[in-house]
Amino acid sequence: MDTEKLSAGICPVGRGLARAGDAWSMLILRDAGLGLTRFDDFQKSLGIAPNILTRRLATLVEAGMLERRRYSERPPRDAYVLTEAGRDYLPILQALGGWARKHFGEGAMSELVEAGTGRVVTPLVVDAETGAPLSDIAVTLRGPDDA
C-alpha cells in the first residue's frame, strides 16, 4: 500500500488510514487514551513485540498523534502522550467499539462508561449540523474537481 500517496490524496478516509490504519497503532492509541504513556506499559498491555512497538510509536509520533516527553535521563526514557490530533482520534475508536458491541457483542465485554458517574456511554456518529445519525443520511464524496 502506497501510504505516502494516500496520506496526501484527495480522499479524507485514505488520509486518515495513512496515519492510523493498522490495528496495532489503533490499540496503542486506545491505551494512550486510557492513560498509558510508557513503553513497558504498552508492551505489557498489548503483548506486542518490542521492535514492532518501537516502530509503531515512532510512526505515531511522526504522524503527529503522539509526542515524546523525556521522563528519565539515565537511562534515557520517553513517555508517549497524545497530541490534540491523537486525542481527537479517540472518539473514532469509541465509535468502533460501539459498533463491535452492537454486532459482535457476545459474551463478556468491557463497557464504555463516563468517568466518575459510571454511566454507560453509547457512541453515535451524527451530522454535526443537524444531530441526525449519519447512518440515516445518504452521503457521498464530492471530489475537489466536481464543484
18 vs 66, which CB is nearer to a copy of itself?
A: 18
**Taken in order 5, 50, 31, 23, is the CA torsion positive or negative?**
positive
Work out how close the CB of 26 gets to a copy of itself at its nearest, in angstroms, rounded to a whole number: 6
58 vs 100, which CB is nearer to a copy of itself?
A: 100
Work out how close the CB of 92 gets to a copy of itself at its nearest, in angstroms, rounded to a whole number: 5
Burial of 37 (0-12, 13-18, 19+ CB in 10 A): middle
27 vs 61, which CB is nearer to a copy of itself?
A: 27
Euclidean distance between CA atoms 8 and 14, whole angstroms: 9
Which of 95, 71, 92 is closest to 81 using CA atoms? 71
